[in-house]
Amino acid sequence: MTSISTLRDAASRWIAADPDPATRAELETVLARAESDPAAAADLADRLAGPLEFGTAGLRGPVRAGPNGMNVAVVTRTTAGVAEWLKAHGHAGALVVVGRDARHGSEAFATAAAEVLTAAGFDVKVFARPLPTPVLAFAVGRLGAVAGIQITASHNPPADNGYKLYDATGGQIVPPSDGEIERAIEAAPRATEVPRAPGAEVVDLLDRYLDEVATLPLGHDRAVRVAATALHGVGAATLRAAFERAGFTDLHLVEAQAAPDPDFPTVSFPNPEEPGATDLLLALASDVDADLAIALDPDADRCALGVRERDGRWRMLRGDETGVLLGSYVLSTVDRTVLPDPLVATTIVSSSMLGEIAKAEGARYAETLTGFKWLVRAGEGLVFAYEEALGLCVNPGFVRDKDGVAAATLAAGLAAQLKAQGRTPLDVLDELARRHGVHLTDQVSLRVTDLAVRGQLMAKVRTTPPARLGGVEVTLEDLLPDADVVRLTGEGVRVVVRPSGTEPKLKAYLQVVASVRADAQERLTALRADVEELLA
């Protein structure tokens, strides 16, 4: 363990370079306790273990003092690095947009980023209030910005915040940009030496964004009742405005979760995928006799759909179910005289059914590595993209990223059309299964406290891969060096194993394909048991 004297020296250097009196005092308190408290010493060592790694997802970490946390000093140096990177690529003085969510620290971090860029000579525009991440992505494209910064930790725990960077394409950055920026951050001066200046222009792009959402292929029917939740994030007001602009008036929000609250008091984990996160939503959907339930994640770039089963009970659709449901619908609305060769895309860990749908519709299909930074770069003519982790892009023409608000509005339009026909989303999913086979997906997620465990398990799968999974012979495909991913495939079976890019988890994505649902479910159960044993 690092000696207390070494920790004291490192902490003192950081405190001297921190421009924020609040985090200086915080680290001083931890340092004082660390002299006699082993737990405080361990906390101090963790805070100083950084810096936070800047990757293609930007930064993400706990809001706390020290280099291994999200704080004004870290954001200041990060933005100084981003400014130098932009200048190195010929963008000195160009336009950059800065937005934020409502998490702890977001306003101070957005202010720091805007002031660093302003002092560096950039034309900086900022939002006056917390808004969904898709609005920031929209603004980058609409204003012709060379970059956009959104302060958000998406669906991470309440203690976290983050820094997401978009480039001039309007999409999230991809390699080698992340490495170039990380080196620029390393070369940045101490935070107290980075110039800051006020003067960023406050802009409001929300109306223009809502106008675009209303142009989605929503059909003519509007008689649909929707229950929705923003999970204490920033999506409720924008979702309501989008629905009103599009003509959907029967929207019921989970009031206890509608106002932004960085403590997320009613959920243990503010992610629609997590058990219990949508309990209040499904209860509301049942109470108001809704036709559709919608959950946005805290920064409203993800969208989950809930439906009523035929026995009357409500459940959330899996991300793959939502993806093929909306993907099939989008393809049915494409004007082939305008776009004769449309493209749909998903990732290597998502259901392959979208490919079967595209083939039947005479459309192109692409699979990319995980992450919307890759999906929006899948190719020309992209009309729809999704990833199983509730990311949906139904509007690549004006948001080159996942967009929960637009996806929710489109889903309401589809649900209204189906209701007018006496049908439901489950009817469509059944029809797709009859046409293209039953595609069932699942996930085995192993949370670790020591990140080294992920590497050890990946090495185990690579060096001693299983011969059979779920009763089927499988072969291994290693995607290194392009990605730290292994894929195991056999007849009607696919397993993809990868470390999470945003959480301390190792994830295995399972798929089985069969002609009969009961057979598919039985095979999926067997496959899951084998994969759990493989990763034990």
Q: What are phi and psi of 293, to 5 degrees?
A: -115, 140
CA distance 53 to 50: 8
- The reply to whether 154 belongs to the active site is yes
Query: Is the dihedral angle over the CA atoms 185, 190, 193, 195 positive or is it negative?
Result: positive
Q: What is the CA radius of gyration of the chain?
A: 24
Strands 364-368 and 382-387: unpaired
Residue 52 has what DSSP assignment? P
Long-range interactions of 425-433: CB distance < 8 A, separation 24+: 425/292, 425/305, 425/307, 425/317, 425/325, 426/307, 426/309, 426/310, 428/325, 428/328, 428/329, 429/321, 429/324, 429/325, 432/324, 432/325, 432/328, 432/353, 432/357, 433/517
Give yes or no for a contact between 203 and 127, defined as CB atoms under 8 angstroms apart. yes
Give yes or no for a contact between 296 and 271, defined as CB atoms under 8 angstroms apart. no
Q: What single-letter amino acid sits at 483?
A: A
Element (H, E) at 1: none
Helix (H, G, I), strand (E, B) or coil at 362: coil
Alpha-carbon distance values, 238 to 166, 234, 296, 357, 443 (Å)? 21, 8, 11, 32, 31
The single residue of 3, 36, 106, 154 carrying the catalytic annotation is 154
Q: Which of 166, 158, 157 is nearest to 113 (CA)?
A: 166
Q: Please count the residues of the chain.
A: 536
Cα angle 498, 149, 27; round to 5: 80
Token code pair at residue 245: 């602009």
Alpha helices in 297-449 (DSSP H): 319-333, 353-361, 372-375, 404-420, 425-436
Token code pair at residue 439: 């595609």
Alpha helices in 197-352 (DSSP H): 206-213, 236-246, 279-287, 319-333
Q: How many CB atoms lie within 10 A of CB 457?
A: 19
Q: What single-letter amino acid sits at 208?
A: R
CA distance 233 to 212: 22
CA distance 282 to 267: 14
Query: What does the DSSP assignment read for 3-33?
Result: -HHHHHHHHHHHHHH---HHHHHHHHHHHHH
Which residues are identified as catalytic? 154
